[in-house]
Amino acid sequence: MASTPKNKLGIRGWVCGGRYVVERYAYIIHRISGIGILVYFILHIFVTGSRLGGPEKWHSTMSFFETPLFKFGEYLVFAAFAFHALNGLRLFFNELGFLIGKPARPVFPYKTSIHHQRPWLIVLMILAALFIVVGGLDFYILGE
Amino acid sequence: MENSKQTKETVNNVIFEVLRYNPETDKKPRLEEYTVKVTKGMTVLDGLNWIKENLDNTLAWRSSCRMGVCGSCAMFINGRARLACNNQIMHINTKKLVIKPLPNFAIIRDLVPDFEDFFEKHRTIKPFLIRKKAEELDNPGNEFFQSPEELANYIQFAYCIKCGICLAACPTCATDDRFTGPMALTQGWRYVSDSRDEGAEEREQELFSRHGVWRCHFAGACSDACPKGVDPAMAIQLLKRDMFFKQYEKRKKSPARRETEESKEWKPNPDIPKPPDPTV
Ligand code: SF4
Ligand code: SF4
Ligand code: FES
């Protein structure tokens, strides 16, 4: 007799757990961008720490990071930050029970807390997209 | 007679791809295909019954009320967790249905998920009215008065049928085995927010444990998937809010804090000797 399959979705379940509301994807991107920013911070401390090794060490480290790949990485960190900050603003209020409506007798078609906060998500995501596009222009076109 | 003939007419042949697993003979779950003659208005549950009657009587699932009340027939149908009895086949897909047991629950057999842990978590939040004076429940001296407004605070959450769909949809449940889960947390708030209940403190430990409300990050899939409009995501955020402001109030009143505020007015300590007189 085989043991009962656990049928837990695991990390796969963050992305392919089923077709539900867009907020579920915001949750995942929020997580991934958060982890990305954390990894960047740790790296950042080590990189700037190389300044202690004198100007030569500093310059050699910096030139190592001047490749297009790292520049793109830096842009990704910026994009992650823009998303994480703006989505985090929404979550800050939502998770304290604001902007999600009030309990009411459920009448089909159900209107839930998710519908109540949706306009905020839309506005903030437009803002995030704007930041990411303008940031991209600055990184690659205006900043050259 | 003619009318019934009309409604019995097959409108489509729909393929049902159903997950099969028998713990006694199978090493791993597998998918099996059945062609179901679908008539107008047929629900997924009707389809499964049709398979059992006409094609394969070994197929197992759980159902009872066939009208969205008992919460037995939740399954994962074409990419969403839903009740088999309140979804019509033709509304989901006209060609093919893929039916699996609810994810995030162990499989007992075929489409039957294991709800042991789910109900255990429900038990831990004490899903009943708690009064400080326990005798009151057996020998009430008075009516437990509740106004319509007070009822409106929690009635939405009392509609829960414990079907487990919210846990199947929740991304936190996908990775955290010990997460109390949207159903139990919502039931926690259903009782905490009931004006007749006095058990908020007794439930604190479970609701605000390391794997309690703070593991929810408002992905909202639970509220989207819930077939009864219970809105677990709202209940959980309201719990967080309640907890946050209660703690905030407690801190404000705590003796340690009052002391630091009082000590802002500086008074010389008589135990410390005075400095010597300046020499220049
Ligand atoms: S909250 Fe909704 S989805 Fe969750 S168990 Fe209750 S009825 Fe089912
Ligand atoms: S709102 Fe919370 S409990 Fe509901 S699906 Fe999202 S993370 Fe899970
Ligand atoms: S059979 Fe009772 S809810 Fe579907």
- Report how many domains make up chain B: 2
One domain for residues B150 and B102: no
Q: Is B266 left (phi over 0), alpha (psi -120 to 50) or beta?
A: beta
> What is the C-alpha separation between B130 and B276, in angstroms, rounded?
66
CATH number of the domain residue B248 falls in = 1.10.1060.10
Residue B93 pLDDT:
92
Give the residue, B7 or A32, on which the prediction is more confident.
A32
Question: Min CA distance, A67 vs chain B (Å)?
Answer: 37
Mean pLDDT estimate for chain A? 92
Task: Categorize the per-residue pLDDT at A141 as very low, low, confident or very high, splitting at 50, 70 and 90.
Answer: confident
For range B174-190, the mean pLDDT? 97
Nearest to B218 by CA among B239, B242, B241, B234: B234
Look at the alpha carbons of B233, B87, B69, B211 in this order and tell me if their dihedral is positive or negative. negative
Helical residues (DSSP H) of chain A, grouped into ranges? 12-16, 22-49, 55-64, 68-94, 113-137
Angle between helices B200-207 and B182-192 (to 10 degrees): 160
Domain regions of chain A by residue span: 21-142
Q: Is B133 contained in some domain?
A: yes
Mean pLDDT estimate for chain B? 92
Give the residue, B279 or A81, on which the prediction is more confident.
A81
Contact B224 A17 (CB under 8 A): no
List the 178-197 stretch of B: residues with Cβ below 8 A of A: 193
Tell me the backbone φ, ψ of residue B74, rounded to 5 degrees: -65, 135
Q: Is B267 contained in some domain?
A: no
Q: Is B265 contained in some domain?
A: no
List the 26-85 stretch of B: residues with Cβ below 8 A of A: 26-29, 76, 79-81
Is the confidence at residue B265, as pLDDT, over 60? Answer: yes
Q: Is B271 contained in some domain?
A: no
The reply to whether A99 touches chain B by the CB within 8 Å rule is no
Amino acid at A23: E
Residue finishing a domain among B81, B113, B145? B113
Ligand 2 within 6 A of B216 CB?
Answer: yes
One domain for residues B109 and B145: no
Residue B1 pLDDT:
45
One domain for residues B107 and B155: no
Q: Is B258 contained in some domain?
A: no
Name the helix (H) or strand (E) containing B50: helix B44-54
One domain for residues B211 and B105: no
Structure tokens at B118: 């789910």
B73-82, B142-151, B247-256, range with greatest mean pLDDT: B73-82
Residue B5 pLDDT:
53
One domain for residues B25 and B86: yes
User: Which ligand lies nearest the alpha carbon of B166?
Assistant: 1
One domain for residues B109 and B124: no
Instruction: Give this complex's ipTM.
Output: 0.90
- Partners of residue B101 in chain A, C-beta under 8 Å: 7
Q: B196-219: per-residue pLDDT in tens?
A: 999 999 999 999 999 999 999 999
Q: B87-134: per-residue pLDDT in tens?
A: 999 999 989 999 999 999 999 999 999 999 999 999 999 999 999 888
Structure tokens at B29: 């779950």
B221 CA from centroid of ligand 1 (Å): 11
Q: B124-135: per-residue pLDDT in tens?
A: 999 999 998 888
For range A21-44, the mean pLDDT? 95
One domain for residues B95 and B128: no
From 3.90.1150.10, 3.40.50.300, 1.20.1300.10, 3.40.50.10130, which CATH number describes the A21-142 domain? 1.20.1300.10
Query: Residue B124: which domain range?
Result: 116-253
Q: A107-132: per-residue pLDDT in tens?
A: 999 999 999 999 999 999 999 999 99
> What is the C-alpha separation between A63 and A60, in angstroms, rounded?
5
Structure tokens at B34: 């059945």
Contact B159 A106 (CB under 8 A): yes
How would you class A113 by CB atoms within 10 Å of its CB: exposed for 0-12, middle for 13-18, buried for 19 or more?
Answer: buried
For range A26-42, the mean pLDDT? 96
pTM of the model: 0.89
One domain for residues B76 and B16: yes
> What is the C-alpha separation between B206 and B195, in angstroms, rounded?
20
Is the confidence at residue B258, as pLDDT, over 90? Answer: no
One domain for residues B152 and B224: yes
Report angle CA B34, B38, B40 to the nearest 5 degrees. 165
Residue identifier of the C-alpha nearest atom 3 of ligand 2 = B182
Question: In this prediction, what percent of chain B has a pLDDT beyond 90?
Answer: 78
Q: B18-49: per-residue pLDDT in tens?
A: 999 999 999 999 999 999 999 999 999 999 99
Angle between helices B182-192 and B116-124 (to 10 degrees): 20
Nearest to B228 by CA among B66, B87, B68: B68
Give the residue, B59 or A57, on which the prediction is more confident.
B59
Least confident of A53-67, A94-108, B100-114, B171-185: A53-67
